[in-house]
Structure 1
Amino acid sequence: MLTVAPHLRTRRPSPTTVEYTVSTSPPPTLPLRLLLGLTILLRVTIGLSVLLLLYSKFLLSDYSTPLEPYSSRPQLQSNAFIWYLAYNLTTSRLGALFTHLATLTPPIVLLPASFTILYLLSLRLHTTESLLVLRGLGIQTSSSSSTFLSGSTTRFIPTEKIQDIFVNEAFRGFEVRYYLVVVVEGEESVVVVFPRLLPRRQILETVWRGVRGCLFEPEEKAG
């Protein structure tokens, strides 16, 4: 329900600009928004719990210094406010529970398990890849990263560097997969569009016709 098969969305900001976006994100309905909100809340809760468990384990080690209570609440903008929150959290019932769990869990188990959970929590639910076509300028490819820890990967290819654009096919195991490629002048390897999703052939043909129509056909007719 949270992800669907790769589908195409087309946006035309101007007569000379068109953007093709392929995504596994379903339509943003109200039930889906609520479900995504609960998923984010669950991720944040689990992530903070793991961090609190690691911090409790650190306080039990020889490398930490005991936290001292504050006679008054520090200002919100000060660094002391962070230590004020840390002291009140670790001395609360919740903090005592996590301290007890940290005592029972050896570091050789806690550290790998914590970092694995944090990495899984950083994975994106959806994959989004786009192709922006600018008539007279070129094309820009963009692919979202697999985690929230890094940004999207983008590349711009000027029109004068584009030699050809076509749909190719290749065997992937016992399956035939189609992909859209751009032949760039001066480069031995081709640039694959939508490399992570590899949408079905109908989507690729729609994008191929649109890209050629926006980049090449007006110039060919003018000549």
Structure 2
Amino acid sequence: MLTTTPRLYTRRPSPTTAEFTVTTLPPPTIPLRILRVLLLALRVALVLLTALALHARWLSSPYAQPSLPSTCPTGDGWFSMEAVWYALDTLHKSSLGQLVGGLVENVPLVVLLPAAAALCYLLALRVHTTESLLVMRGLGVQTSSSPATYLASATSRFIPTEKIRDIFVNEAFRGFEVRYYLIVVVEGEENVVVVFPRLLPRRSIVETVWRGARACLYESRGGDTTEEKG
């Protein structure tokens, strides 16, 4: 329910500009929005529990430094490390904190630290993937791809028009199936640029983007439209 097969959204803000976005994010519905909010709350809760467990284990370690003064931060102090420590200290003294502390008290750090890092990485993973191709006649094309986690930034690349030798659909074997993908041949580069490399949408979407990209780059098209293709 949180993801779907790659879908194509086409946006043409001007006759010389077109944006093709392929995403696994389903169309927004009320149940989906509620589910995403619940998932976000679960992520935050698990991150807080992980931080509380590490804090409790650190306090039980012989290498722990004396605790910072338990004073409530004020003003800009809420955005400092002292505020984080104060919040963890307060949670540690609660019944939940005592329970978590008792559970991890005898867990070796060589086990707890990798497990906490792995859990935080899993919680930071994005549920859906979004990739796009922005075509601007006379300027070039820009490819972009959403990161795998919320901790990274999107990757993008701009290719000026004078460097584009051709845009075409290629095919390759992936396992026991033939996959079609869109590529941009760049002058002076040995390797081609694959559009939508992570999603590799089905042939109909690839051909639609190919026709639209070439039309926007080399032909005259009018009208501001927004299209969706499932």
TM-score range, shorter chain: over 0.9
- Matches of 1:158 and 1:81, distance apart in 2: 48
Q: Please show how residues 154-165 of structure 1 align to structure 2 within 5 Å.
A: 154-165=156-167
CA distance 1:217–1:81, change in 2 (3 Å)? closer
1:27 aligns with 2:21: no
Which amino acid counterpart does residue 171 of structure 2 have in structure 1? E
3-state DSSP class of the match of 1:77? helix
Which runs of 5 or more structure 2 residues have no equivalent in the other structure? Answer: 221-230
Which amino acid counterpart does residue 9 of structure 1 have in structure 2? Y
- Matches of 2:30 and 2:142, distance apart in 1: 32
2:129 corresponds to which residue? Answer: 127
Deviation, 1:77, is 2.1
Please identify runs of 4+ aligned residues in structure 1 that moved more than 3 A.
79-84
Number of paired residues?
217
- TM-score, normalized by length of structure 1? 0.92
Deviation, 1:109, is 2.2
Deviation, 1:68, is 5.4
Which amino acid counterpart does residue 42 of structure 1 have in structure 2? L
Q: Please show how residues 1-223 of structure 1 align to structure 2 within 5 Å.
A: 1-67=1-67, 70=70, 73-78=72-77, 79=80, 80-218=82-220
- Matches of 1:33 and 1:83, distance apart in 2: 33
Moved more, 207-216 or 56-65: 56-65
- Asked if 2 retains the 8 angstrom alpha-carbon contact of 1:69 and 1:87, the reply is no
Deviation, 1:73, is 3.5
1:221 corresponds to which residue? Answer: none
- Matches of 2:72 and 2:170, distance apart in 1: 65
CA distance 1:14–1:65, change in 2 (3 Å)? same
Can you list the C-alpha shifts for 1:170-212, whole angstroms capped at 9, x where unaligned? 0111110000000000001110000000000100110001111
CA distance 1:53–1:36, change in 2 (3 Å)? same
CA distance 1:12–1:100, change in 2 (3 Å)? same
- Matches of 1:73 and 1:111, distance apart in 2: 28
CA distance 1:193–1:100, change in 2 (3 Å)? same
3-state DSSP class of the match of 1:197? coil
- Matches of 2:135 and 2:202, distance apart in 1: 20
Which amino acid counterpart does residue 159 of structure 1 have in structure 2? T
3-state DSSP class of the match of 1:187? coil
Deviation, 1:82, is 3.8
- Asked if 2 retains the 8 angstrom alpha-carbon contact of 1:164 and 1:184, the reply is yes
- Matches of 1:163 and 1:8, distance apart in 2: 25
Can you list the C-alpha shifts for 1:79-137, whole angstroms capped at 9, x where unaligned? 44444333322222122112111213222321221111111101100000000001110
- Asked if 1 retains the 8 angstrom alpha-carbon contact of 2:55 and 2:88, the reply is no
- Asked if 2 retains the 8 angstrom alpha-carbon contact of 1:179 and 1:199, the reply is yes
- Matches of 2:90 and 2:14, distance apart in 1: 55
- Matches of 2:191 and 2:86, distance apart in 1: 56
Moved more, 78-87 or 105-114: 78-87
- TM-score, normalized by length of structure 2? 0.89
